[in-house]
Amino acid sequence: FRRVLFRSGSMRVTSPAHTVGMVSAACAQLGERALICAETNDLTGIPHLDHVKVVRTASNAAIFPACRAIVHHGGAGTTAASLRAGVPTLILFALWLDQPIWAAGVDQLKVGSGRHFSETTEQSLVSDLRTILTPQYAARAREVATQISTPAQSAARAADFLESVVRRGRSC
């Protein structure tokens, strides 16, 4: 049961009921199932829908590769995890410092797109998802994933770099 994952991260939505309604309607139009990770948003009292599952949180490493697309807030860690998973990404950002940069990056890589969350409508969500759910975006996302280092490789490289700086007696 592959789904489109919606993850808000630390971004608070003003109207959770409206957001879930928009996600539900967009996915229904596309014939997709949705998995919504509520995280910092209170989604209690949201009506149960057959094609929408709401959970508090889920492991990025476990759930991302099982998704057809990932919609998220555009944080650096979530963006890296979505790229690593090889799944097309839609970033709906709230305009923090780096989120528009990550949105532009996934667009430039042709593995996804991004827009300001406040500008998102049911129609724009359908359009954005229809674009990134194409075979071209899926293939490109899988291709880019092969070029992304694992978290362990990244940590080892960072530690090696810092150790080399210290050995040379220079500050970062």
Which tens digit of pLDDT belongs to each residue from 5-20?
A: 988 766 667 777 888 8
- As beta bridge partners, residue 78 has none
Confidence of residue 144 (pLDDT cuts 50, 70, 90): very high
Write down the pLDDT at residue 16.
Answer: 78
In total, the chain counts a number of residues equal to 172
Task: Tell the burial category of 148 from Cβ atoms under 10 Å away from its Cβ (0-12, 13-18, 19+).
Answer: middle
The three-state secondary structure class of 93 is strand
Write down the pLDDT at residue 28.
Answer: 94
> Considering only CA atoms, which of 112, 148, 116 is closest in space to residue 133?
112
Which tens digit of pLDDT belongs to each residue from 95-109?
A: 678 899 999 999 999
Which tens digit of pLDDT belongs to each residue from 17-63?
A: 888 899 999 999 999 999 988 777 677 777 778 899 888 888 888 99
Please give the model's pTM, rounded to 2 decimal places. 0.85
Contacts of residue 30, defined as CB under 8 A and 6 or more positions apart, other chains included, come to: 4, 126, 129, 130, 133
pLDDT, averaged across the chain: 89
